[in-house]
Structures are given as structure tokens and as C-alpha cells.
Amino acid sequence: MRRQLAPSDPRPGAAPTSRSTPLTSPTRLLDPRPVAAVAVRLGDLAALVEGSHRLSRSAADTVVSGLTLASADVRAGDLYAALPGKHTHGVRYAPAAVQAGAAAVLTDEVGAAELGAPPDSTTAERPTLAQVPVVVADDPRALLGDVAAEVYGRPAERLLMIGVTGTQGKTTVTYLMEAALRVAGRTPGLVGTTGSLADGQRIASRLTTPEAPDLHALLAVMREQGVSACAMEVSSHALVQGRVDGVVFDVAVFLNLGRDHLDFHGDVDSYFAAKAQLFTPQRTVRAVIDVGDAWGRRLAAETAQRGLPHTTCTASPDIHEPAADWTVAEVSVRSDGSDFVIVGPAGQRQAVRLLLPGSFNVRNALAAVAALVEAGLPLTQVAAGIGRASGLPGRMELVDEGQDFSAIVDYAHKPDAVEAVLVALRPATAGRLLVVLGAGGDRDPGKRPLMGAIAARRSDVLVVTDDNPRTEDPAAIRSQLLAGVDTTEPHAELVEEPDRAVAIRRAVSMARAGDTVLVAGKGHETGQEVAGVVHPFDDRQVLRVMVRARLDQERPPSTPAVGP
């Protein structure tokens, strides 16, 4: 095998490794709970689950003003949802929740039994049913969306809600929508992988799609901040786990489907079925579906059978695809973006100048435009807004220190995404394409050799390194990536370097004028998770440090002053 195992760097003053890279300064976050609480009677909430609950009459007048699944997040007046978890039941934390001010508990029969049982030697004293009002439901998780919506005043009903799902492109599409909404005179909100925003202000959040109680609280915060429309990423996990329950979207968008999350869903058909849950009359008023792949065409057919109004789009038509309502024409790809014309259902044409590099972003832009126009916004304003969007965090993000080669960070961490980015970069690269790539631990291992094979086939130099190993053996993950490389002939020059920072430095040191260095996999992330510990690490910062260090080495020494 043509592989080089890179030694550790012996030089003094070497650039920092993944254990010492500093984080950016934190920005002030908006509180993820609304300032104005909505007081709701527990009896009214219990009525939402009529037929599957128990609640004493004396407890019906208890007032709750918030809802949370996490005992550490409980505030005075909250309803604490004590649900069964992967390792333990949330009822074990009910004492802490009550001590923090929880006004009531929502749980299942198992939780209710534990609440009423005497404490054992391994647990703290537990509140009994007589001490705290308890709503007991057969499936409390299934109720969280409706209960949270009621507790927070049903904020989604007072927002234009657009949900976006797909294996690739969700973050880009929602950011494009945010820019277009602003130009169209709407005050935008955003929920997704890189965080939640209310009119440009960041709201503290943890997941791509927050749990239902947190989501409705976020939407209530947006309403307080004057937000009128929200573009939201909707993951397959969120749909299966009920995190978007209680929200009916005005428009739901399907982008594509590739291999991902099979560790959770089991197979691609189940993954598709999870995403298809969004495209029902119970979850959305209207759908926009990209029919550029077979999964999109299948979804369009199923959506039609359900009687859900929908429109289709594709930026890559060929003779095998049906005609779409929204298409593109006159596409011209530049190194820093694209120019193209959007063609609408009625034959309307609108020129767009996109500032996001990569031909795949034409497809993302088309989906964003189609969704917003279907939501009632003017095409000209939407196109103008799309044209202003640039600099998405960790998505084809350029690191420019004046060097004579390109340095780019991208979040590509799935086979299709890796291929799309490399295909986009190849024509824009005069020289060689150098790629730094790893794979995340505790995730679908089947995609690792596929990623390795694609990267080896599409690049000239491949540096295999660690991503977020999490609880897995990093060397085993790298071996699975390299197994894919071994199936590809001919393949790129290969380097294996466990330390991600050193791997980035090696790629930068090998770059020549006209080359492109791509650091793929982590994008906007600011930490590297190893054995349960998240170490500060930002690919963008590390790449910038390495580029600067190389430029400093290349600068000629200053000419000493000559005295009289």
C-alpha cells in the first residue's frame, strides 16, 4: 500500500495540535426561553391528552409556565417531563427538578410507580404523588409537542414556518432563505445545525432540531424579537422522535437523500420513510420537492397520492427525469459562485448571481427560491436576497491569507457530500487537490470506506486523519477509511496522520501555487470529541494558523539598516 504514516512533529514552536487550539470568543446568546411567560392550568394541559392521563382534581388549577426534559434546565413554574431514556428513566431526576421549582411532573406509568415508591439506597428521596401534581400518560413523549405549543402560546401559528429536510444542503438552503426573507421585508428566524437565530441574534440551542419543548420556546423567543418567518432544518431524527410535533409548516422542502444515519434508521428505506413523515397534511400545508434524484421522484408520487399540494424543482434535468415546475437555465459556474436563470412554473425567468462556490449550490438556491415563492414572496425580491448570501460557516468557507493556493473548510462528512464538494472543486483548481479527511465515531461505519474511496479517487493527495472519534478507537476508524482507498486504483498520494492539526499542517506544507487544500468533515464545529471529552478545535482557525505559519517561513528576512 502506498501509505505514509506521518511522524510526530519534532520542531520547537510547531503549530498547536488539537489539544491546544483556542476557541473563538463566545458571543452573547439570547435566552432560549421567552421573557413573557404564558400561565396555563395543568388541567387544561391534561385535557390535551384526554383518555390517557390521570390528574387529581385538586391539582388541575396548578399553573405551569414552561416545559423541559432536562432537570438541570428547570425553572420555577415548569412542567418537568420525566421520560424513559437510553440508560435511565428521567424520573430519577424528579427530586432535583422539584427542588429547582418544577410545579408538576409529566411521566408514564413506570415513572408514576417510581414516584410513589419509597426511596432505595441508591437514590435520593423522591417526591410522592401527593407532594407534587403528576400527569400520567401512556406515551408522554408523543404529547410533548402539543403540550409545549400550548405552554408557549402556540408561537408557530404566528410565524411563516418553512421546514427543510434532506441529507445534504439543509444548512445552506436555510441560510439562503434567511437572506431572502430579509430582503423581502420579513424579519427572519433560523433553526439548524449551526445554531438558532432571531433577527440575526443567536439563541442558545444544542441540537440541529431541538426537542419539542425547546423548539416551541425558541419560536416564542423569536416572536418576542419580532421575527415573522422562520427557516428551519428538520432532521430525520427529529421526525422520528417527535421533536417537531405541534408545528404545522407552511412549506416543507425535500432536497435529496443519500447514505447517512443508518446507525439510527437501519437501512435507507427506513431513512426515507422518516423524512417522508414531514410531507403529510398533518405536518405541512404545501411541499416543494427536488426531483433530481430517485428518492425525490418517489416522494413526489407519494405526496400526490396523499393529496398534499406540492411543486417540484430540479437544477440537473436529464432525459430520465420528469419535467419539474422549477428549473434553471444558462448556468455559468465561477470560482466564487454561479450565474444562472431560474425558470418558474408559469415560464417566468429571473437571473440570479450566487456568491456561494460549488455547482451543487445552484441546486440549493433553486430549492430556496421555489419554497419562498410558493410561500407567497415575490420572485424578484427572493432572487435579490439569495444573491446577497455569502460566507456560510463551515460550508465551502475560504481561508485567505494572501497565499498562492486555495484553502477551504467544508462540513462534508457523508459519501455524497464528499463527492459533491470534490467534483465542484476540481474544475476550479488549476493544480492539485489536497484533501484532509476523517470520519466520525459512533456513527454509521458503512459509509467510511465509501468516503475513503471517493476521496482517493477524486483527489491528488489524501491525508487521512481523525475527526470526532467519540468513544471508538480512532485507529480503527482510519483503517475503515483506508480500506476504501485500497479498493480504488489509481488513487491519490496517501498520508495517514492521526493528529488533525498536524494533518492540516502537512497538507498546507505540500501545497503549491494553484493547488486547493480542502479540510473536510467538521466545518463549523469548534470542538473535537475524543473519549467523551470535547477538546477545543476549529478547522477554520487551525487552517488559518497553518497558512500563516507557512507564509511566515517563506517571507525573506528583512534587510538590515545600513548606517553611515
* Per-residue pLDDT tens digits for 180-235: 999 999 999 999 988 899 999 999 877 667 899 999 999 999 999 999 999 999 99
Closest C-alpha to 17, from 426, 541, 414: 541
Q: Rounded CA gap, 419 and 203, in Å?
A: 33
Rounded to the nearest 5 degrees, what angle is found at the Cα of 174, between the Cα atoms of 170 and 179?
Answer: 150
User: DSSP string spanning 441-462?
Assistant: TTS-TTHHHHHHHHHHHH-SEE
Residue 181 sits in the same domain as residue 129: no
Position 28 pLDDT exceeds 90: no
Q: Is residue 9 assigned to a domain?
A: no
- pLDDT of res. 258: 83
Residue 143 sits in the same domain as residue 256: no
Residue 285 sits in the same domain as residue 168: yes
Q: What is the pLDDT of residues 430-447, one digit of tens each?
A: 999 999 999 999 998 999
**283-287, 399-403, 462-466, 557-561: which range is least confident on average?**
557-561
How many residues are there in the chain?
A: 564
Residue 120 sits in the same domain as residue 207: no
CB 503 within 8 A of CB 465: yes
Q: Rounded CA gap, 360 and 418, in Å?
A: 12
Residue 523 sits in the same domain as residue 459: yes
CATH number reported for the structural domain that contains residue 120 in this entry? 3.40.1390.10
* pLDDT average, residue stretch 272-277: 94
- pLDDT of res. 486: 86
Q: Is residue 561 assigned to a domain?
A: no
Q: Is residue 21 assigned to a domain?
A: no
Alpha helix ranges (H) inside 241-289: 262-265, 268-276
Cell of 163: 421546514
Q: Rounded CA gap, 129 and 552, in Å?
A: 68
Domain of 102? 40-149
- pLDDT of res. 342: 97
Residue 456 sits in the same domain as residue 417: yes
Q: Rounded CA gap, 172 and 174, in Å?
A: 6
Q: Which of 149, 178, 197 is the C-terminal boundary of a domain?
A: 149
**89-93, 95-99, 537-541, 558-562: which range is least confident on average?**
558-562
Residue 456 sits in the same domain as residue 542: yes
Domain count along the chain: 3
Residue 470 sits in the same domain as residue 353: no
> Residue 311's beta-bridge partner residues?
288
Cα atoms in the 13 Å half-sphere on the side-chain side of 560: 3
**Of 312 and 14, more confident:** 312
- pLDDT of res. 431: 97
- pLDDT of res. 215: 96
pLDDT band, very low/low/confident/very high, at 58 (cuts 50, 70, 90): low
Q: Which of 368, 386, 404 is the C-terminal boundary of a domain?
A: 386
- pLDDT of res. 434: 98
CATH number reported for the structural domain that contains residue 163 in this entry? 3.40.1190.10
Question: Could you tell me what percent of the chain has a pLDDT over 90?
Answer: 73
- pLDDT of res. 557: 67
Q: Is residue 520 assigned to a domain?
A: yes
Residue 259 sits in the same domain as residue 370: yes
State the chain's mean pLDDT as an integer.
88
Q: Is residue 176 assigned to a domain?
A: yes
Residue 381 sits in the same domain as residue 514: no
Residue 545 sits in the same domain as residue 403: yes
- DSSP H/E element including 406: strand 406-410
User: DSSP string spanning 119-137?
Assistant: P-TTS-----TTTS-EEE-
pLDDT band, very low/low/confident/very high, at 123 (cuts 50, 70, 90): very low
Q: Rounded CA gap, 21 and 25, in Å?
A: 13
Position 43 pLDDT exceeds 70: yes
pLDDT band, very low/low/confident/very high, at 55 (cuts 50, 70, 90): low
Alpha helix ranges (H) inside 414-538: 415-425, 447-458, 474-486, 500-510
Q: What is the pLDDT of residues 489-509, one digit of tens each?
A: 878 999 999 999 999 999 999
Closest C-alpha to 365, from 391, 386, 394, 389: 386
Q: Which of 356, 386, 416 is the C-terminal boundary of a domain?
A: 386
Residue 490 preceded by cis peptide, ω within 30: yes
**19-33, 89-103, 274-288, 350-364: which range is least confident on average?**
19-33
Q: Is residue 262 assigned to a domain?
A: yes
* Residue 414 identity (one-letter amino acid): K
Q: Is residue 11 assigned to a domain?
A: no
- pLDDT of res. 208: 62
CB 413 within 8 A of CB 439: yes
CATH number reported for the structural domain that contains residue 400 in this entry? 3.90.190.20
Residue 453 sits in the same domain as residue 493: yes
Closest C-alpha to 429, from 354, 360, 495, 511: 511
Q: Is residue 411 assigned to a domain?
A: yes
DSSP helix/strand/coil, 536: strand
Q: What is the pTM of this model?
A: 0.85
CB 177 within 8 A of CB 188: yes
